[in-house]
Chains A and B, each alone.
Chain A
């Protein structure tokens, strides 16, 4: 079985990093593409170590080639023929994708609500049916259930309102932050509210010489928003820009 880590074009030197389970990284040349792969007798394990090994091979590729597209973890083929045929199915997109990231790196920015400043735990509580009003013989349990149902609905409406408010606030904030952050970048991806604790998660594709400008921009954004937690990571291989279906091979 063959595991694929990433593709590059061209490669200046053979990869040196070890693959999953310490397997030596081999090169499969297919048309203009160089694929970094390892061979296994059974499906490779999927531990955290395996994920880190995958990341290590992609980073190694970055240091040996100007254009690298990381492949998502878990791409396993029965044999080389199956791999080549899969590449052929999308060859033009892959070549276009490589051109798009050539000489560029990814910077990640995650922005979180500052915990000290935010206390907005979702309310899971609602009044139990029947507890909201006293029972009355003339109306019976039906009224109690109706009142309980009303209280439940009110709680649901309130919860919905609160969620919408958080969503609007996050969209507004993320929109403004992203607008500033993407200025030094040639391409970007934005996720608003990827988790409850995060306002946004952004990925920014930056020309190598523009890296300092990107970092300066993040620093400025963090300074302008002391009420937010800003985390900048990278430089990464362009994982977030390897969504080749979205790239028109031009």
Chain B
């Protein structure tokens, strides 16, 4: 698996969670993210090695 692909998938996973999940507080001004197509980027590609993906999830800090 090439690293660039792994980065892309990790990015989709992060964006999917941050924009679409999490506590919704009423009374707030919800900003839409215009330039990010939510369900998206289609996730055209997959990684079969969960170890790699796992480390990517951790690497995003």
Contacts and interface: CB of A to CB of B under 8 A. Distances in A.
Contacts, number: 157
A48 B44 contact: no
Most buried by A among B17, B24, B42, B61: B17
A108 interface: yes
B24 A231 contact: no
Given A55-B60, A197-B43, A235-B57, A230 B50 contact: yes
Nearest to A211: B54
B48 A75 contact: no
Contacts of B39: 194-195
Given A4-B25, A70-B23, A52 B46 contact: no
A77 interface: yes
Interface stretch (A127-135, A148-156, A172-180, A215-223): A215-223
Contact-residue bracket for chain A? 35 or more
Contact of B30 (A48, A55, A75, A236): A75
Contact of A197 (B27, B36, B42, B48): B42
A169 to B, nearest CB: 18
B50 A232 contact: yes
A6 B15 CA distance: 16
B35 A47 contact: yes
A220 B28 CA distance: 43
A102 interface: no
Interface stretch (A21-29, A117-125, A158-166, A237-245): A237-245
8 contacts: A46-B35, A54-B18, A55-B17, A72-B22, A90-B26, A230-B46, A233-B9, A244-B23
Interface of A: 4, 6-7, 17, 43-44, 46-48, 51-52, 54-56, 58-60, 69-77, 82-83, 85-87, 89-90, 94, 97, 108, 110, 112, 194-195, 197-198, 215, 218-219, 222, 229-236, 239-240, 242-244
